[in-house]
Structures are given as C-alpha cells and as structure tokens.
Structure 1
Amino acid sequence: MNELPIASERLAACRDLRLPAFRERFVELAATARREQSSYKQFLLDLLQIEVADRDIRRQQRPVRAAKFPRPKRLEDFDYDRNPNVLPETIGDLKSSAWVREGRPLVLIGDSGTGKS
C-alpha cells in the first residue's frame, strides 16, 4: 500500500489544525507504537500528550521572545565569580516564584555589564 498520499493528507491536516508536534513526531511515535504493540487509544493519547507538552513549552517561550531581550540569560548561568557578594542560596530562591507570590521585591544593583538582567 502506498503511504505517500496518506502522509501528505496527514501533514496537511496537521497544518490546518495547527498541530506541529503531532506532525513532527507522528512517524516516530507510530514506529514506537507498532514495536510496543500499543493500542490505537494509547497511540492517540501519546500523540496528544506530545502536542500538549509542546504547546506548554511554546506558551512559556512566547513572552520571552516578545520581550526581545538582547541575549538570553538564565539563573543557571549566573557568574558567581563576577558577583562574589551574591550567595548561591539567594539565586536558588529566585528559581522559585514564591517571592513573587509573597509580594517581595527584587532589586538588582550593580555596574553596567555585571549580569543584572
């Protein structure tokens, strides 16, 4: 059986329904489902879970892209050598959003180029 027409219809449907992760991972997940003898329901659930996870990631990335930061900076990349007065525990506290929920302020003070942003 020729799979090409089905594949092109699947790609078009995924594009129309805006399911990029479904489109990109379908072949891989179908092969895994066949190898593991998964049910159709399990295969569909796996595809849907992949799409949901991908959307969550894109939802988190969207505001960061919209902010148009000049370069990405992450707490994991904080340079303690250039900021010896900052304790690792302080940076660790920032990883949790509890300080925001508690209404505690955050002020970063330092010279230009010291990693405040």
Structure 2
Amino acid sequence: MTELEEKNSVAIASNESFGGWTKTFTDPRRCAAIVDRLTFNGAIIETGTQSYRLAHTKAQQQIKAVP
C-alpha cells in the first residue's frame, strides 16, 4: 500500500464509519493503523446516502425471519 499510494491515487468505499471498521479489522491497533494510513494526506468524501444492497439484504432477512 505504501508504494502504491506514493505513485497513484487510491479510492476506497465503505458504508461503515471508521468507528465500525473494528468489526472487520478486529485488532484495535491494526484498525487504527489502517485508518491512519488511508486518511493521511487524503480526501474523505461522505455522500450521506444509504446502501441499496444493504437495505435489500436486511429486508430479505426480515422476510425470512417472519414465521
């Protein structure tokens, strides 16, 4: 990642806030290091939109859960 970011642009999209990244990167120190590396000299763009795929998945789970 270090070599890549020095020569190219890197874009990462997530529906999760940085605080929720510990669900994926379960080691808090490693998670903090990843967020730190990704945000250093970067631009954070928040669209404020909800994920269609996430909403669809949750709706399907609710349908399956109803007896």
Report the TM-score range of the alignment, normalised by the length of the smaller protein.
Answer: 0.3 to 0.5
User: TM-score when scaled to structure 1?
Assistant: 0.23
Q: Which structure: greater helix fraction?
A: 1
* Larger relative contact order (CA 8 Å, sep ≥ 6): 2
User: TM-score when scaled to structure 2?
Assistant: 0.32
